[in-house]
């Protein structure tokens, strides 16, 4: 059965195309819920800005990557803006990269 750590690890491969940092280190992933039988995985996430045009691409990438785990039959991506994303949510590594890029 898939674990939260495995899901979080594969989500580090999902990169925001504008910032070029993965969604985990950006602090965009708020929650990972896995059903008791491991068949359903729900990712609760936010975007760096409301109306971000990259959402569909990010969602599809998440569904493809998480859905590739053996036993996972359904992947749901729930979008929330509560709390709104802030650059303070980024990992220290991402903050360092962000500082040099912007």
- pLDDT of the residue at 51: 86
6 vs 70: CA distance, rounded Å: 12
Which residue ranges form the domains of the chain, and what is each CATH number? 4-87 (3.30.300.130)
- Tokens coding 11: 């989500």
pLDDT in tens, 4-58: 999 999 999 999 998 899 999 999 999 999 999 999 999 999 999 888 899 999 9
pLDDT score, position 85? 94
Mean pLDDT on 65-93: 96
């Amino acid at each position: 059965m898939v674990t939260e750590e495995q899901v979080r690890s594969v989500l580090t491969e999902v990169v925001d195309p504008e910032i070029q940092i993965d969604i985990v280190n950006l602090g965009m992933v708020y929650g990972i819920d896995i059903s008791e039988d491991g068949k359903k995985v729900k990712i609760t996430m936010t975007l760096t800005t409301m109306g971000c045009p990259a959402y569909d691409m990010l969602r599809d990438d998440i569904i493809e990557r998480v859905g590739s785990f053996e036993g996972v039959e359904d992947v749901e991506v729930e979008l929330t803006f509560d709390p709104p994303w802030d650059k303070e949510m980024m990992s220290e590594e991402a903050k360092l990269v962000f500082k040099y890029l912007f």
